[in-house]
């Protein structure tokens, strides 16, 4: 991989008069020794799979644990009732995030982005945006390169797994990926893409991975909503010209440092945080007993 920093992607863009997407396409072609055509067709297939996965949400499904199911449908009903606080577009994004995260919990097919636990974030912002602003597939696929490039730097410099760096690494990275993609879709500059990454990740620093009974459901499903909405607010700020005081690469490094300092009970071991509450521990006892 050519880039281990967002800074080097921006430098490539300047040097080659390239877009953020083009910088990453070039990287993929070199890394996997493939043609532009091969790379694009693979990414396009992924975009279609994301869309299919979103379209096949089944509101009647419940997860094996009983903890997830039907929340997307509740959001849908609420939206249709009247004027919500967030407004129609954000409500659609929230519903999409709930649906995808629930699908994951219910053993449906999803695209890990970057992980299964955070699979709800990217499609939740990208699919509604594509629909609302009639963005052609080609542009959406380019945005996926931007997102993947951001995630790759996070994986290289820090972590993308909750077990390694807490939820700030999973939902945090997914949110930063989505924020960068959203800025790209509005033709934001590479610098603005980086500010969106920095802002979105900063907001989630320190977030722990504390899944109830060790399952990817509580609080994971609703955190996907938060990751998606955080991406929208960060993208809007970046596009408004609002800048992050700390550069994106340093924010990523801070995420790593915080993850390293995080106690292991807060990194997907079910031993701390929400997983350690009375309700969670009672549920876990019952759940284990029922399945012995």
Partner 1 sequence: MNLFDILGPVMVGPSSSHTAGAVRIGLAARKLLGEEPKEAVITLSGSFSSTGIGHGTDKALVAGLLGMEPDDMRIPKSFEEAQKCGLSFRFVHETVKDFHPNTAILDVTAESGRRTLVQASSLGGGRIMINYLDGVEINVTGERPVLVIHNIDKPGYVSLVTSVMAANSVNIATMTLHRSKRGGTAVMVIETDQNIPADAAAHLKSVDGILKVTCLNL
Which residues of this chain interact with partner 1, rule CB under 8 A? 1, 24, 27-28, 31-32, 42-43, 46, 49, 63-65, 103-117, 119, 122, 144-145, 147-149, 151-152, 155-156, 160-161, 163, 177, 213-217, 270, 287-288, 291-292
Task: Give least dist CB 251 to partner 1, A.
Answer: 18
Task: Give least dist CB 253 to partner 1, A.
Answer: 18
Task: Give least dist CB 163 to partner 1, A.
Answer: 7
Task: Dig out the tokens for 247 from the structure.
Answer: 């550069």
* Nearest CB to partner 1, comparing residues 38 and 131: 38
- Cα 285 to Cα 62, 213, 266, 279, 291, distances in angstroms: 20, 9, 19, 10, 10
* Nearest CB to partner 1, comparing residues 12 and 145: 145
287 vs 42: CA distance, rounded Å? 40
* Nearest CB to partner 1, comparing residues 121 and 254: 121
Task: Give least dist CB 157 to partner 1, A.
Answer: 12
* Nearest CB to partner 1, comparing residues 35 and 81: 35
User: In sequence order, what are the beta bridge partners of 267?
Assistant: 209
69 vs 142: CA distance, rounded Å? 32
Q: How many CB atoms lie within 10 A of CB 137?
A: 12
Residue 53: which region, alpha, beta or left (left: phi > 0; alpha: psi -120 to 50)?
Answer: alpha
* Nearest CB to partner 1, comparing residues 109 and 138: 109
Task: Give least dist CB 249 to partner 1, A.
Answer: 17
Q: Residue 138, SS3?
A: helix
Going 213 to 215 to 217 to 223, the CA torsion angle's sign is positive
């Amino acid at each position: 991989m050519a880039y281990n920093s967002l800074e080097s992607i921006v430098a490539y863009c300047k040097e080659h008069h390239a877009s953020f997407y083009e910088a990453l396409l070039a990287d993929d072609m070199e890394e996997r020794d493939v043609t532009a055509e091969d790379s694009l067709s693979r990414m396009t297939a992924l975009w279609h799979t994301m869309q299919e996965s979103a379209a096949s949400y089944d509101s009647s499904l419940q997860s094996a644990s009983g903890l997830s199911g039907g929340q997307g449908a509740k959001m849908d009903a609420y939206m249709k009732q009247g004027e919500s606080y967030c407004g129609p577009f954000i409500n659609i994004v929230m519903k999409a995030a709930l649906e995808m995260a629930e699908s994951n919990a219910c053993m449906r097919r999803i695209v890990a982005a970057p992980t299964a636990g955070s699979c709800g974030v990217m499609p939740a912002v990208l699919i509604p945006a594509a629909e609302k602003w009639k963005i052609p597939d080609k542009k959406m696929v380019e945005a996926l390169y931007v997102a993947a490039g951001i995630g790759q730097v996070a994986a290289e410099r820090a972590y993308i797994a909750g077990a390694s760096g807490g939820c700030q690494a999973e939902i945090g990275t997914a949110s930063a990926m989505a924020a960068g993609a959203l800025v790209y879709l509005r033709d934001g500059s590479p610098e603005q893409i980086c500010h969106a990454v920095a802002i979105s990740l900063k907001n989630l620093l320190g977030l722990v991975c504390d899944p109830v009974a060790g399952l990817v459901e509580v609080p994971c499903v609703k955190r996907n909503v938060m990751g998606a909405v955080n991406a929208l607010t960060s993208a809007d700020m970046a596009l408004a010209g609002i800048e992050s005081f700390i550069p994106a690469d340093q924010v990523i490094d801070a995420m790593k440092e915080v993850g390293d300092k995080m106690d292991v009970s807060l990194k997907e071991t079910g031993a701390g945080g929400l997983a350690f509450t009375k309700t969670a521990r009672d549920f876990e006892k019952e759940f284990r007993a029922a399945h012995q």
